[in-house]
């Protein structure tokens, strides 16, 4: 379980995330939805200790993140919002770096890599530099790296971006399998179709504020609209108007 309590991240006078509180349950796929700049990446980077929140608390199970950073991070698999990192390393060198950080035995590392390289069609390119890959191939490298330690908590920032249809389909199935074992999956997206077919619950962010949390059925019951896209756009439009009005 991941618990976020009154999370606030402020840059100068701007609130990137404003007093967020919600829980991601065990066995759940939770989608964080919002326009670009809504606060999705800031929230995720706070969860994985890339950003230090201005205030608020984050718990992984009963562990307070700021007091148990190393223990919490060992349980997290993170896919960043951009795969354009470690470009001078080969894919295998990057995976080996991740394995060494998580203290994964070489035999276990190789067995896990064999499984995921076959699944994501990366066999034969493991020793090529990441810089030589397309965006989608780079994304696969970081997805595999995030799964290498077999973590309990998957935290992924726009993980489907750039993936080919087969790879996206396979990742979705992995998410479902992971959650079915009692683990937690949090991912961000602005693609409503992905959220509709994959998530147990969603949270909608607008201007750093959480404007809805619940199931897709609850969303459709509470708000007017002929389809999910129309409902979402109306929620965001209304929430932005309230913020501009000072409500």
pLDDT at 245: 37
Kindly report the pTM of this predicted structure: 0.91
Type and span of the H or E element at 147: helix 135-147
In percent, the amount of the chain with pLDDT more than 90 equals 79
Output the pLDDT for position 246.
39
Greater model confidence, 161 or 128: 128
pLDDT at 8: 97
Q: How confident is the model at residue 46 (pLDDT cuts 50, 70, 90)?
A: very high
Q: For the chain, list the strands marked E by DSSP.
A: 2-11, 14-24, 28-33, 55-60, 63-64, 76-79, 153-157, 184-189, 201-206, 209-214
Average pLDDT over residues 231-246: 65
Return the pLDDT at 231.
85
Split at pLDDT 50, 70, 90, the class of 56 is very high
Long-range own/partner contacts, residues 47-51 (CB < 8 A, 24 or more apart): 47/2, 47/4, 47/76, 47/155, 47/186, 48/73, 48/76, 48/78, 48/155, 49/73, 51/9
- The confidence score (pLDDT) of residue 243 equals 43
Q: What is the pLDDT of residues 103-141, one digit of tens each?
A: 999 999 999 999 999 999 999 999 999 999 999 999 999
């Amino acid at each position: 379980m991941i618990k976020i309590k009154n999370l606030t991240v402020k840059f100068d006078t701007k609130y990137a995330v404003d007093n967020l509180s919600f829980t991601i349950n065990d066995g759940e796929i939770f989608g964080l939805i919002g326009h670009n700049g809504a606060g999705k990446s800031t929230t995720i980077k706070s969860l994985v200790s890339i950003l230090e929140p201005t205030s608020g608390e984050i718990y992984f199970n009963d562990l307070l993140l700021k007091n148990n950073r190393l223990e919490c991070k060992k349980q997290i698999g993170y896919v960043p919002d951009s795969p354009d990192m470690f470009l001078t390393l080969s894919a295998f060198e990057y995976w080996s770096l991740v394995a060494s950080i998580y203290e994964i035995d070489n035999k276990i590392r190789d067995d896990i890599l064999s499984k995921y390289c076959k699944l994501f069609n990366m066999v034969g390119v493991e020793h090529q530099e990441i810089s030589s890959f397309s965006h989608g191939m780079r994304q696969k490298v970081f997805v595999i790296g995030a799964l290498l330690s077999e973590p309990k908590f998957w935290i992924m920032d726009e993980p489907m971006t750039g993936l080919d249809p087969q790879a996206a389909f396979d990742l979705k199935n992995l998410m479902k399998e992971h959650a079915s074992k009692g683990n937690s999956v949090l991912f961000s997206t602005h693609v409503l179709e992905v959220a509709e077919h994959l998530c147990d619950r969603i949270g909608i962010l607008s201007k750093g504020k959480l404007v809805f949390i619940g199931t897709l059925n609850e969303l459709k019951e509470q708000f007017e609209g002929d389809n999910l896209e129309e409902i979402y756009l109306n929620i965001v439009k209304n929430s932005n108007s309230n913020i501009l009005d000072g409500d």
